[in-house]
Amino acid sequence: MWNGRMVWVCSLLLSFLSMAFAQENALRIKVPVQDERVPERPFVEGTVSDVGATVWVIVHPMEVSDYWVQPAVSVMESSTWKVKIYVGRPGAQDKGQHFEIRAVANPKVRLREGQVLDAWPEAQSESQVVEVVRQ
């Protein structure tokens, strides 16, 4: 009986710790929203719980396997951030194309604007993926 309670208490404690850690590193894209039609240069806005985090936004054109690092993000003291990104090539050739957008905080590798990756970069924290359509 005592062993069963001890296991239950330990697993409850581990659950609380993992939830606290996940909330501590929370990163979220607020704008744009899923399936939104966006212009060539939309703003992406979000929140991050760690105001000291280094946040980058990555755009993945779904027709290809490239992942494009966007301009550097400035995190405000209010834990909000906003950056103007590039969705597709200039002009009309990417209109109607689908793109995925994700933010990452404290990436494990050094990123720079314009860098092309072959996958989402590993990071301490990652936002949800938001799919948009270029208008």
Domain assignment present for residue 42? The answer is yes
pLDDT of residue 16: 46
Domain assignment present for residue 11? The answer is no
pTM, entire model: 0.82
Statement: residue 74 has pLDDT above 70: yes
Domain assignment present for residue 73? The answer is yes
* 97-135 exposure pattern, b = at least 16 Cβ within 10 A, e = fewer: bebebbbbbbbeeebeeeeebeeebebebbbeebebbbe
Please give the average per-residue pLDDT across 1-21, as a whole number: 51
Please give the average per-residue pLDDT across 114-130, as a whole number: 98
Q: What's 62's domain CATH number?
A: 2.60.40.10
Structural domain for 79, as ranges: 27-134
- Percent of the chain exceeding pLDDT 70 equals 81
Mean pLDDT estimate for the chain:
89
